[in-house]
Chain A
Amino acid sequence: MEKVMTINRPPEDFAQFKQDFDDTYHIEVMMPTAPTGKTTPTQQIKNEWDAWHALKERLIACAGNVQFAQAPNGRGTEVRVSFPYSAPGGMVGSMLAKALDKSPEQWITEDLRHFKEMMEAGEIATIAGQPVGSK
């Protein structure tokens, strides 16, 4: 499976993340675990590195990969994540995700979107904690 989003920042802004991924991958890919089946609460993602770590950890957990490519004519960077359709930890992983009502694909998409929001807008859109009338 593949998910791709274009982030409105030049490729050089991603070099450190690519390096970090390669470093971690070499250490951890030998022992993949199941995707954790939860997203890092947006309040805990305070900066670009937090958002990156959440995405990276999920990818590592399911033996996924990430590539950065320059989008045409200065339109930013295409961040493409790929992961095996049935994530390692296979059954467990996808059962866990199912129980939580989201597929591994949806978790990864959410992490990728949070990374994009953090890189572009400097925060992650949320309504958690806003007022609402009695239910």
Chain B
Amino acid sequence: MKAICWYGAHDMRVENVPDPKILNPHDAIVKITLTAICGSDLHCYDGYIPGFEKGDIIGHEFMGEVVEVGKEVTKLKKGDRVVVPFPIACGKCFYCQKGLWSLCDNSNPNAAVAEMMYGYSAAGLYGYSHIYGGYAGGQAQYARVPFADVGPIKIPEELTDEQVLFLSDIFPTGYQAAESCDIQKGDIVAVWGCGPVGQFAIKSAYLLGAERVIAIDRIPERLNLAKEKGNADVINYEQADVVETLRAMTGGRGPDGCIDGVGLEAHGKTIDAMFDKVEQTLRMESDRPTALRQAIQACRKGGVLSIAGVYGGLIDKFNLGAAFAKGLIFRMGQTHVHNYLRPLLERIQHGEIDPSFIITHRMGLEEAPHGYEIFKNKQDNCIKVVLKP
């Protein structure tokens, strides 16, 4: 089959590889009908996620048709059309049973390595480095899906692939980020980053009852989309002092909830951002937390800082003092996608949201390397690329 493989920073290749096989009794094989490039893949593309090996198949947002099931799979059968959540979860451990699916105890074959880095290991993920298990990903024609009775959700015929694909990650991710803000009547939520995750966080904050959502980015077409489709007020962080603008827009209180939809490659021209760039290049710190610092500074007292953007290692000059002084609540982590599959599918069925609004580019697998390039460099107004294998 054809698959997109990682070979190093800015080196993704279309390779011919063997088809995946059933390896465990709860596995299924899915023939992929639609897959996407995620902002998380960009961190790998840029070489900031450790634990990749040459030839690894990347991708974790995918859906398709079940073509084979392992001998202990009971709920799925050949021919079912499914969306696959990006964390791999067993359904039986303490974490899965508490709904903390992305923290599953039993799905990372490299748990020992993750324990060395983080103390404990999180769940295995598709196409996301050997620290998260090294599972072959979904930017391919077929994928092996472990614990097939636990993760994948069946999709009714009347919905198109484009309407449901993002249940695999970014819609639940934006939704969990907003839900974590514990939105109360009258709350104003600020969202850093108007990429796909930010766009879904904006929509979700309104679905959850926010009074107003303010979105922050610098890319005009992304700010436009946040305004037009998301009904957000927007701030271009290159043209305004974000913290002061937010103060003015919130009657001097500060946003009640602040969502970091940017992650470890935040861009910025402030002094701290330039330090970060140098330190990250010299590998003195692994993550660039410009947006995160700003969100901490801007958040109202006792507010929630909800971190959806990915961080991988160490950060420097972290304003923990501000967070402490204001009594902020921190929530973060890989999304517990399984919790949101059914409720968000229902919202799509009821027409409350059509997630396909963020798609700007459609291409075949062969064009994926180009897709990475334009998504990374924000060329050609690229916001979200989907690939049809």
Contact = CB atoms under 8 A, between A and B. Distances in A.
A63 B238 CA distance: 66
Given A8-B94, A133-B55, 14 more contacts: A109-B112, A113-B111, A116-B105, A120-B106, A123-B24, A125-B88, A125-B133, A127-B135, A129-B23, A131-B18, A132-B17, A132-B56, A133-B5, A133-B17
Interface of B: 1, 3, 5, 7, 13, 15, 17-21, 23-26, 53-57, 72, 88, 90-94, 97, 105-109, 111-112, 124, 133-136, 140, 144, 146-147
Given A109-B112, A122-B26, A132 B93 contact: no
Nearest to A109: B112
B15 A123 contact: no
A98 interface: no
Contacts of B3: 131, 133
Contact of B23 (A106, A116, A126): A126
Given A131-B17, A132-B136, A125 B106 contact: yes
18 contacts: A76-B94, A113-B111, A120-B106, A121-B92, A121-B106, A123-B24, A124-B109, A125-B24, A125-B124, A127-B134, A130-B20, A130-B135, A130-B136, A131-B3, A131-B57, A131-B140, A132-B5, A133-B7
Nearest to B18: A131
B17 A8 contact: no
Which secondary structure dominates where chain A touches chain B? Answer: loop
Given A121-B106, A121-B147, A133-B17, A128 B94 contact: no
B90 A121 contact: yes
B112 A110 contact: yes
A75 interface: yes
Contacts of B106: 116-117, 120-121, 125
A134 interface: yes
Interface of A: 6, 8, 75-76, 106, 109-110, 113, 116-117, 120-135
B101 to A, nearest CB: 13
A126 B109 CA distance: 5
Given A8-B93, A120-B90, A132-B136, A127 B20 contact: no
A129 B144 CA distance: 11
Contacts of A75: 94
B133 A133 contact: no
B149 to A, nearest CB: 11
A8 B97 CA distance: 10
A10 to B, nearest CB: 13
Given A106-B112, A125-B106, A125-B109, A133 B57 contact: yes
Contact of A135 (B55, B94, B147): B55
A135 B20 CA distance: 17
B21 A125 contact: no
B64 to A, nearest CB: 16
